[in-house]
Chain A
Amino acid sequence: MNSADQDRLVAAFRRGAEDASAALSKWLGRPATLCVDRLDALPISAAAAVLGSGDEPICGCAMRIDGVVGGLLLLAAADAAGLSLADTLLERPVGTSIGWGDLERSAVVETANIVGCAYLNAICAALDPSETAGILPSPPLFLRDYPATVMEAALMEQPAPADTVLLARTEFRIDGTPVGCGLVFLPDAAGLTTSQSPAPGPRGRP
């Protein structure tokens, strides 16, 4: 991928973060932003460690994306951050949730659904101005596991796991403060190849 392609992708991912920020703010009922942290091509060993290599489990959701921008989207958070997010969504004092019951899981799954779809729809629109193709996300799958195993399994979802992996990372901020939660998107290499066509225009932007 040349630098022009990379610039186009960064612009698309930023657009995705903007739309996802609006969706998250509406969902939470308070100011929230997703900041595009990084778009990197990493060796697979480094990619496996982007969620950390610690011994404490993390929580989150995975969504398989098919369409013009195929890949795997992860919403990942430290356990405590995920439970805090659930409390916020359930309009309870932060610290109320102490474990992953059905209600807490549902709150995180719905967050992944709303934020993830807004994020990916905007990326898709940026990379496919003709609107001839869309995306088809799977239902979010709740997960709670070690960060290294979550990321390893995500890497193995790639159609042809390569030695170098492109991934985009964003960070959630609520009321301006990082909350230990974010999105990781691993686009399929083939999907990116087909989407490297005309530069995105301002279609549909406010």
Chain B
Amino acid sequence: MSDPLPPRTALLQGEAVEIGQIGVAVGGGVLRTFVGSCVGLVLHSRSQRAAALAHVMLPSSNGRGTPPGKYADTAVPETIRLLGEAAGEPGLACTAKLVGGAAMFAFQSGMPIGEQNLAALERILADLGIPITGRACGGGHGRRLAVDVVSGLVTIQTAGHGTEYLK
């Protein structure tokens, strides 16, 4: 197994996953994105050295479903499907990490959208029996994250709130 990229390098290189999209890679490389109240859903298969990153915006598609990465209820099954397809092993076992779900602007009444996103993802992952092995969630600040595809190491950096790693 190759060593993961140094954190600073990992955050600056790799495939950028845009808002509402899903990125997948196998055998090497880095997937990265920025999240505020959105949630970065990371799925990783250690055995297949494969990872996927979905940038989830909203908890429910309410029947819309496109792009699938935009909504928690469509993003999870689609990310699992793409990961299995890329690894050549449909239905492969994987673990999950969640990053984001912040409440950057405290203008909305009720449950912040970030918390709603996290709750939806946690419920769906639990229903599917996918363990969540790391979380860097909540707070009032954005995060940029980079996923090392082989190791599954997630590097998270913030503007003024330090750097964090999810192994």
Contact = CB atoms under 8 A, between A and B. Distances in A.
Interface residues of A, number: 25
Given A55-B144, A57-B160, A146-B34, A154 B105 contact: yes
A153 B57 CA distance: 10
Given A146-B142, A150-B142, A156 B11 contact: no
A117 interface: no
Interface string A127-154: 0000000000010010111101110111
Contact of B36 (A57, A138, A145): A145
B38 interface: yes
A138 B105 CA distance: 11
A64 B35 CA distance: 20
Contact of A156 (B36, B141, B159): B36
A95 B22 CA distance: 42
B102 interface: yes
B2 interface: no
A178 interface: no
Contacts, number: 79
Contacts of B102: 149, 153
A48 B105 contact: no
Nearest to A138: B107
Contacts of B16: 53
A48 B143 CA distance: 15
Contacts of A149: 34-36, 102, 104, 141-144
B33 to A, nearest CB: 8
B5 interface: no
Interface in A24-82: 44-45, 48, 53, 55, 57, 62, 64, 72
Contacts of A144: 159-160
A97 to B, nearest CB: 16
A153 B144 contact: no
Given A45-B18, A156-B38, A145 B141 contact: yes
A55 B12 CA distance: 8
B37 A156 contact: yes
Interface string B115-141: 000000000000000000000000001
Nearest 5 interchain pairs by C-beta: A149-B142, A153-B36, A57-B159, A148-B34, A64-B107
